[in-house]
Amino acid sequence: MTMKNLLAAAAAAIITVAAPSALAHARLEASTPAANSVVSPAPAQVRLQFNEPLELPFSKVKLVDEKGGVVDASRVAADPADPRALVATTPGLHAGVWRVQWTTVARDGHKVKGEFSFRVQ
């Protein structure tokens, strides 16, 4: 085997090992309200749909308005029909742009977080 072939074989082996865990990370696939959408009336719940089952005790959802005001969305529940979804109860959202900041842990133990916005008209 030449040196070049040896390096190619080593690179291929690394890619084979690394790829499955990278693909296993949970990611947000959709939400209700959807990212960048405009809704009316204000939603009583925000639903986050992920690609794999989540650990509910490590899941948090926070809503922040344009002035930095935070709405308590501490009541985060799993969707009984779908362990890949989180449902946050969001009472009394006023009109304006809301940033949804979420954190969760997938069954593989990896913490993932992200945020998106929607507007209440």
Residues contributing to the site for Cu ion (CB under 5 A):
24-25, 108, 110
CB contact burial 34-47 (16+ within 10 A = b; e otherwise): eeeeeeeebbeebb
Q: Which is nearer to Cu ion, 25 or 75 (CB)?
A: 25
CB of 28 to Cu ion, least distance (A): 13
State which residue, 51 or 117, has the beta carbon closest to Cu ion: 51
User: Quick one: DSSP state of residue 91?
Assistant: T
CA distances from 90 to 42, 54, 70 (A): 9, 20, 11
CB nearer to Cu ion: pick between 58 and 95 = 58
Q: How far is the CB of 108 from Cu ion (least distance, A)?
A: 4
